[in-house]
């Protein structure tokens, strides 16, 4: 089956949108001029419940909404569109807005960039000792785009905002010099938009004896959700599955880091068939998602999602806090509320689903989990810990922040109990 794609310029071809008012349709166009927008016909036909738009969570997941931009930004683009300004003018305005949306949270573009013979390598990140992230350049788009996407700068077409690697030889050379790396995480975008042949060129050499240090190969993907046919009827679906099997047969752990935001994405029959086919290769599926206002900010949604994942043989892995980039203000949930949603959901599932960690912030110093709320010597505080740290010694050490019901990110928290700084800020 061929994927039919619709981008900003094809909005008028999506007949289902005629259910919305003229104003609502115009708002979608305005936001889709600034933030990435792309849907395919699978999402349109099988995921979205058009009787429930605009509140339908799958619609919110894929279609831009007016409030995703600030009023100032929105009006600036809306005026230009109404005046039928030139493409150049509109593009320029959009680019200016991009710079104001914190395109590189946690200093991704300057920190964590690995070096080979002092030369910085583009398209790789090495933040945590044991794991290298690899961004193959052909994998820097997705089957559809999530409206909350934290990797949105990869998709807005500006070269300087993008991270991408063209040559896997550089990755191999880096791994030869870094025997401490046990995990490779191939990420994007969605690396599974690449052909099986291109993926083989990255993965197959890693199965050789010289890379025996590498135990685990992960691929981050939302293909199960947006294009399950990637594992069923694409011309190279069988080759892709064979590649997973080669990895497991070579004695390595092959993990698909699956991105599901709502149990609705796991309902269609093709998804279930695709899951069994992947499991047949010996690959393990682990799931992750941010907590998103308008999409999944309720404990019963997570409870059902995790329960059904476990039933299908998927392992719940991470619940993330929405990163401080892009349309964050539309989706964000305060940390205290996030913790409440997490614990209410976790309490209702069996131990098999309690493998999920979170809610976790991927911040500059590391992945910080909100563990709970305590009251000690009359002061209420948030208990935090590093799940991953820029410095491995920080991991698992509990630390405390002043209780704050409004805070939505680490940089808004203050140390509790009279401390001047958090312990990791001393370094």
Query: What residues line the site for ligand SF4 (CB under 6 A)?
Result: 142, 145-146, 149, 151, 188-190, 222, 259
**325 contacts ligand PLP (rule: CB under 6 A):** no
Q: Mask of contacts with ligand PLP, 178-197, x by CB under 6 A?
A: -------x------------
Q: Quick one: 290 or 389, whose CB is closer to ligand SF4?
A: 290
Residue 131 interacting partner from ligand PLP, ligand SF4, none (CB closer than 5 to 8 Å by kind): ligand PLP
Residue 43 interacting partner from ligand SF4, ligand PLP, none (CB closer than 5 to 8 Å by kind): none
Among 31, 133, 149, 285, binds ligand PLP (CB under 6 A): 133
SS (H, E, C) the chain: CCCCEEEHHHHHHCHHHHHCCHHHHHHHHHHHHHCCCEEEHHHHHHHCCHHHCCCCHHHHHHCCCHHHCCHHHHHHHHHHHHCCCCHHHHHHHHHHHHHCCCCCHHHCCCCCCCEECCEECCCEEEEECCEEEECEHHHCCCCCCCCCCCCHHHCCCCHHHCCCECCHHHHHHHHHHCCCCCEEEECCCCHHHCCHHHHHHHHHHHHCHHHCCCCEEEEEECHHHHCHHHHCCCCCHHHHHHHHHHHHHCCCEEEEEEECCCHHHHCCHHHHHHHHHHHCCCCEEEEEEEECCCCCCCHHHHHHHHHHHHHCCCEEEEEEECCCCCCHHHHCCCHHHHHHHHHHHHHCCCHHHCCCEEEEEECCCEEEEEEEEEEECCEEEEEEEEEEECCHHHECCCEEEECCCCCCCHHHCCECCCCCCCHHHHC
- Of the candidate spans 92-100, 120-128, 171-179, 320-328, the one that interacts with ligand PLP by CB under 6 A turns out to be 120-128
Residue 128 interacting partner from ligand SF4, ligand PLP, none (CB closer than 5 to 8 Å by kind): ligand PLP
CB of 130 to ligand PLP, least distance (A): 7
CB of 22 to ligand SF4, least distance (A): 28
**131 contacts ligand PLP (rule: CB under 6 A):** yes
Residue 149 interacting partner from ligand PLP, ligand SF4, none (CB closer than 5 to 8 Å by kind): ligand SF4
Q: Quick one: 59 or 424, whose CB is closer to ligand SF4?
A: 59
CB of 181 to ligand PLP, least distance (A): 11
CB of 371 to ligand PLP, least distance (A): 16
Query: What residues line the site for ligand PLP (CB under 6 A)?
Result: 125, 127-128, 131, 133, 185, 362, 367, 387-388
């Amino acid at each position: 089956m061929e994927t039919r794609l619709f981008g900003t310029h094809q909005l008028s071809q999506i007949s289902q949108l005629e259910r919305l008012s003229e104003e609502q349709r115009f708002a979608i166009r305005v936001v889709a001029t600034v933030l990435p927008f792309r849907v395919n016909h699978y999402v349109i036909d099988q995921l979205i419940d058009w009787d429930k738009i605009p509140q339908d969570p799958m619609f919110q997941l894929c279609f831009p909404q007016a409030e995703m931009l600030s009023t100032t930004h929105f009006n600036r683009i809306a005026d230009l569109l109404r005046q039928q300004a030139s493409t150049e003018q509109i593009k320029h305005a959009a680019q200016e807005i991009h710079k104001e949306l914190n395109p590189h949270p946690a200093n991704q573009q300057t920190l964590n960039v690995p070096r080979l013979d002092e030369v910085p390598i583009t398209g790789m990140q090495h933040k945590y000792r044991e794991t290298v992230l690899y961004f193959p350049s052909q994998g820097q788009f997705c089957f559809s785009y999530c409206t909350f996407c934290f990797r949105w700068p990869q998709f807005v077409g500006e070269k300087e905002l993008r991270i991408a690697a063209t040559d896997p030889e550089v990755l191999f050379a880096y791994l030869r010099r870094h025997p401490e790396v046990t995990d490779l995480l191939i990420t994007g975008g969605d690396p599974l938009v690449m052909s099986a042949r291109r993926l083989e060129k990255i993965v197959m050499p890693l199965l050789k004896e010289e890379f025996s240090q590498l135990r685990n190969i992960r691929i981050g993907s939302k293909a199960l959700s947006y294009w399950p046919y990637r594992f069923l009827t694409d011309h190279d679906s069988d080759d892709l599955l064979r590649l997973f099997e080669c990895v497991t047969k070579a004695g390595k752990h092959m993990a698909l880091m699956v991105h599901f935001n709502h149990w609705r994405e796991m309902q269609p029959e093709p998804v279930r068939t695709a899951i069994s086919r992947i499991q047949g290769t010996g690959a393990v599926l682990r799931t992750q998602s941010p907590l998103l206002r308008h999409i999944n900010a309720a404990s019963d949604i997570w409870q059902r999602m995790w329960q059904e994942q476990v039933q299908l043989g998927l392992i719940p892995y991470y619940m993330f806090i929405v990163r401080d980039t892009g349309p964050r203000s539309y989706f964000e949930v305060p940390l205290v509320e996030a913790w409440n949603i997490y614990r209410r959901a976790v309490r209702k599932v069996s131990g098999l689903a309690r493998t999920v960690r979170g809610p976790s912030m991927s911040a500059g110093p590391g992945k910080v989990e909100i563990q709970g709320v305590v009251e000690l010597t009359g002061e209420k505080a948030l208990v935090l810990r590093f799940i991953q740290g820029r410095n491995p010694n920080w991991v698992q050490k509990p630390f405390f922040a002043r209780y704050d019901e409004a805070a939505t990110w680490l940089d808004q928290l203050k140390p509790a109990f009279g401390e001047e700084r958090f312990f990791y800020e001393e370094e």
